[in-house]
Amino acid sequence: MAGDEAAAWLPLGEASRRLGISVDALRARVRRGLVEHRKGNDGRIVVLVDDETMSRQSLGGDESDDRARQERDEARAEADHWRGVAEAARIAAATYKEQAEAARSIAAAQAEAKDVLIAELRELLAEARRPWWRKLIGR
């Protein structure tokens, strides 16, 4: 019976209790291939729990934790990078929006000035097209 306890294929719930970690942590280690596992007859995952696995897990200093920490730190750094990129894009968009609004107001002012000029030129043209005798009479 001592040999059975030394190395046994256990369901995730029982293996996690023996190893002193959560079921989710054990599932993550199975996904990463850090724990020997297989599917049982009922289709559920079973994990090989032996003295070596128990000692590694109880010490808590196995390389998988370091790798997970490193991956987490890299993911955080990448997330920070993309947050910075997104913030720069928001600032650029705001700047472009302000520039577009300024260009729109300048164009509107120029169009209004041209409309005034066109009106003045039409009045001058109408005056120039009047017959000479109307200019002489004053009508």
Confidence label for 64 from pLDDT (cuts 50, 70 and 90): low
Confidence label for 54 from pLDDT (cuts 50, 70 and 90): low
Confidence label for 4 from pLDDT (cuts 50, 70 and 90): very low
State the average pLDDT over residues 104-132: 95
Interatomic CA distance for residues 9 and 93, integer angstroms: 58
Residue 35 burial class via C-beta count within 10 angstroms: exposed 0-12, middle 13-18, buried 19 and up: buried
Q: Cα 7 to the chain's mean position, in Å?
A: 44
Length of the chain: 139
DSSP string across 73-104: HHHHHHHHHHHHHHHHHHHHHHHHHHHHHHHH
State the average pLDDT over residues 14-35: 89
Q: Taking a C-beta distance cutoff of 8 angstroms, is the pair 102, 95 a contact? A: no
State the average pLDDT over residues 87-113: 97
